[in-house]
Amino acid sequence: MSSHNAMFSKVLIANRGEIAVRVIRACRELGIVPVAIYSEADRDALHVRHAFEAYCVGPAPSAESYLRIDRIIEVALEAGVDAIHPGYGFLAENPLFAAAVEAAGMVWIGPPRRAMEVMGDKVTSRKAMEEAGVPVVPGTQDPILDDEEAAIIAADIGFPVMVKASAGGGGKGMRRVDQAEDLASALRGARSEAGSAFGDDRIYIEKCIDRPRHVEVQVLSDASGQHLHLFERDCSIQRRHQKLVEESPCPVLSDELRREMTQVAVRAAEAMDYRGAGTVEFLLAQDGSFYFLEMNTRLQVEHPITEMVTGIDLVQAQLLVAAGQPLPFRQEDLEQRGHSIEVRICAEDPADRFRPSPGRVASLREPGGPWVRVDSCLYPGYEVPVFYDPMMAKLVVWGRDRAAAIARMKRALREFTLTGVRSNIPFYVQVMRHGPFVDGDYDTGYVDRHLGSDLLLDQGHHAEEAILAAVIASHRAEQELAAQGGSSSDNSPAAGSAWALAGRLARLGRS
């Protein structure tokens, strides 16, 4: 058994926004002094306001601040921290950063470097998982040289197959082929598309998984070699590979399949000599077969739903493990209780093709009440910067069962008021009452399939009330103006329009 090492006294959080706030909270609960870093654009950010110490690491662009390994190490040494928590995104999956942290004599709050390196690469991770007996999508990762070879491989895997670009990403150079006759033209098309998009026309063939769900398993390992799983999360509701809604448990997983999937995930962690928190992502096919997608060697955005159903604080567990302490629970102590759902609140306007909408938060009322959690970087007056990810907050609820969790999410969304910045809250209101979602009948194509057809944004049933509100606000604005001795009627039509004034007065709280 390892000796009980002392907990850190000071930890630097190499991140920003809601996740930095989240990690700061865990630090404070463990009596650790949290140290924040910030870019010049983030001086007023909430994570800086929550921290005990804060250091500027450079100009607004990430490449000049949150991605500057040298500068962050310098600041960490200056502050005298014991360890660095990378959050997610930015440098969280960069083995060079982990190496720099350790070379500077500090503790890296993350997995061993080898696991990061192996899992950080499509080809090596697939190979490692195949060796560990983890199912991978049938196909070849090696570039296919000629059409004849392609035909043999495709026939071997069985149609439908996907032709994909080796250098690929973002759907470019990707073709679905349903029958052998179409293969040659698909290969030609994919090659030329890949060539012009990536300057590399190599392609490979993979089995096409029809309407898959994205189901992932949370793993947690300590230094003593204990590898645990904390059950699954279903993250199938995505738009452009960006997860939007996550829930745990997955609504279609049988106990047997859950057992199988979580065991495979634990096997993956064992094979990697994993340490800390990680996530093994799978594609779940309609027939119940599942395939390794990738392993994220960090905390996930959607970790709170796992915390809600297990009662385990994953960030505290990460800190514990990094400090060399054994996990204070075993697999048999863990239980998946009730149901949890998370939605990601982003500065995107769903009424305008999810266009980014940075700006200043005019008003904000975050929901509360039982089993509602908001992990947020917002406050009234906060200027949402244009430089970073549009995710501003996560709304997480728990319920005794799925129906209770959906009802609670609906209620919480209705309480959530955010103006000044457009958000995708109205989109989630629709999802929560949308038949296929309520039935748990969805896959990764859900948003593309339903958005704009049967998943319509609320056009509003309260136009009459909105008119009442606008007219009274305008009327009050006129009264205010008259009281001040002026009459807006003398002004030019554009400058003196009553609504502009009404808005200004309303914001000032004059009523």
Partner 1 sequence: MAWEVTIGGASVRAEVKELDGSLYEVVIDGASKLVDVRFPEPGVMHLIRDGEAFEFDLAATDEGQEVTLYGTRYLVDVVDERRKVLRALGRGGKDGGSQVITTSMPGKVVALLVEPGQRVEQGQGVVVVEAMKMENELKASAPGVVAEISVGEGDAVEGGATLVVLAPVEEE
Binding test (CB under 8 A) with partner 1, winner from 110, 112, 390, 399: 390
CA distances from 120 to 179, 299, 331, 386, 463 (A): 33, 15, 27, 28, 51
- The residue within the footprint of partner 1, chosen from 122, 241, 414, 433 (CB under 8 A), is 414
- Residue with tokens 């129906």, as numbered in its chain: 403
Residue 492 found at the interface with partner 1 (CB under 8 A): yes
Do 190 and 165 meet the contact criterion of CB atoms below 8 Å apart?
A: yes
Under the criterion CB under 8 A, does residue 403 sit at the interface with partner 1? no
Are 203 and 173 within 8 A, CB to CB? yes
User: Please, are residues 206 and 143 in contact by the beta-carbon 8 Å criterion?
Assistant: no
Binder among 103, 145, 483, 508 for partner 1 (CB under 8 A): 508
Question: Of 254 and 487, which has the nearer Cβ to partner 1?
Answer: 487
Report the residue number, 182 or 478, with the smaller CB distance to partner 1: 478
**Local structure of 167: helix, strand or coil:** coil
Please report, as residue ranges, which positions from 351 to 370 form the binding site for partner 1 (by CB under 8 A): 351, 355-359, 362-363
Q: Kindly state the DSSP code that residue 85 receives in the 8-state scheme.
A: E
Q: How far is the CB of 115 from partner 1 (least distance, A)?
A: 27
CA angle 251, 255, 261 (to 5 degrees): 85
- The binder of partner 1 chosen from 161, 315, 413, 455 (CB under 8 A): 413
Cα-flanking dihedrals φ and ψ of residue 29, to 5°?
A: -70, -25
Which of 298, 373, 408, 422 does the annotation list as catalytic?
298
Instruction: Answer yes or no: 507 catalytic.
Output: no
Tell me if 509 contacts partner 1 by CB under 8 A.
Answer: yes
Q: How far is the CB of 154 from partner 1 (least distance, A)?
A: 36
Q: Would you give the end-to-end CA distance of the chain in angstroms? A: 67
CB of 354 to partner 1, least distance (A): 9
Q: Which is nearer to partner 1, 41 or 209 (CB)?
A: 41
Residue reference for tokens 């390892």: 2
Crossing angle (nearest 10°) for helices 17-29 and 314-322: 70
Q: Which two tokens stand for residue 489?
A: 């009627």
Q: Candidates 104-112, 128-136, 297-305, 489-497: pick the segment binding partner 1 (CB under 8 A).
A: 489-497
**CB of 92 vs partner 1, minimal distance in Å:** 17
Q: Is 429 in the site for partner 1 (CB under 8 A)?
A: yes
420 binds partner 1 (CB under 8 A): yes
Q: Residue 337 or residue 510: which is nearer to partner 1 going by CB?
A: 510
Q: Looking only at residues 434 through 473 of this chain, which bind partner 1 when binding is defined by CB under 8 A?
A: 458-460, 462-473
Binding-residue pattern over the window 306 to 345 for partner 1, x denoting contact by CB under 8 A: ----------------------------------------
Q: Sign of torsion, CA 14 17 22 26?
A: positive
Task: Choose, by CB under 8 A, the member of 114, 152, 210, 499 that binds partner 1.
Answer: 499
**Shortest Cβ 206–partner 1 spacing (Å):** 28
**Nearest CB to partner 1, comparing residues 266 and 361:** 361
Using the contact rule CB under 8 A, the part of the chain among 176-184, 287-295, 300-308, 381-389 near partner 1 is: 381-389
Judging by beta carbons within 10 Å of its beta carbon (0-12, 13-18, 19+), is residue 502 exposed, middle or buried? buried
* Nearest distance in Å: CB 390, partner 1: 4
Nearer of residues 1 and 463 to partner 1, judged by Cβ: 463
Q: Which of 38, 426, 450, 481 binds partner 1 (CB under 8 A)?
A: 426
E strands, 331-466, in order? 339-346, 348-349, 355-356, 359-360, 363-365, 372-376, 383-384, 391-399, 417-419
Under rule CB under 8 A, residue 419 binds partner 1: yes
Binding partner 1 (rule: CB under 8 A), the pick from 398, 416, 442, 446 is 416
Angle formed by the axes of helices 255-271 and 122-131, to 10°? Answer: 110
- The token duo for 502 is 């009404």
Burial class of residue 1 in the structure, from the number of CB atoms within 10 Å of its CB (0-12 exposed, 13-18 middle, 19+ buried): exposed
What H or E segment, with its residue span, contains residue 28? helix 17-29
Would you say the C-alpha torsion 426, 378, 352, 341 has a positive or negative sign?
negative
Residue 247 CB, nearest approach to partner 1 (Å): 21
| b (16+ CB within 10 A) / e for 52-76 | ebbbbbbeeebeebbbbbebbbebb
- 507 forms part of the interface with partner 1 (CB under 8 A): yes
Residue 388 sits in the site that holds partner 1 (CB under 8 A): yes
Please work out the total of residues on this chain that contact partner 1, with binding judged by CB under 8 A.
Answer: 62
Nearer to partner 1, 145 or 494 (CB): 494
Query: Which structure tokens are listed for 275?
Result: 């340490």
Q: Mutual orientation of helices 69-79 and 95-103 as an angle, nearest 10°?
A: 30
- Residues noted as catalytic: 298
Kindly list the residues in this chain that would bind partner 1 in the complex (CB under 8 A): 347, 351, 355-359, 362-363, 386-390, 413-414, 416-417, 419-420, 425-426, 429, 458-460, 462-475, 478-479, 488-489, 492-494, 496-504, 506-511
